[in-house]
Amino acid sequence: MNQRRIQKRIKQAVSFWNASVSTICASITHSRDKDMAYFKWSQLVWQEIVMYISLDKQVVDDNELCWICRRRGFTRYQRRFLKQALCHIGLR
């Protein structure tokens, strides 16, 4: 694995995440279950992004991504954010 490429993608992911913090917070605020929404964003969505970075794997199969999002219980917005993040870091 190319460590520089992984570090670059993590920096890109962090930058994308930080640029989206206000939108993420609004999503949590408007959620019925704020604790679970916070957990999903802070743990699960971020975990998927980091997993794909560490695997250095292109995500081209929408079925795979949909399956992961259903398994994790993501909202439509979280699924869309994950897709956008993967595009932003060059893995989609």
Model confidence pLDDT, tens digit, residues 26-49: 888 888 887 788 888 888 899 999
> Whole-prediction pTM value?
0.86
Rounded to an integer, what distance in angstroms lies between the CA atom of residue 2 and that of residue 5? 5
Of the chain, the end-to-end C-alpha distance in Å amounts to 18
Of the given ranges (19-28, 31-40, 49-58), which has the lowest mean pLDDT? 31-40
Asked if residue 60 has pLDDT above 90, the reply is no
Encoded amino acid at 16, one letter:
F
Q: Give residue limits of the domains in the chain.
A: 3-88
Of residues 5 and 38, more confidence is placed in 5
Average pLDDT of the chain, as a whole number = 89
Rounded to an integer, what distance in angstroms lies between the CA atom of residue 59 and that of residue 61? 6
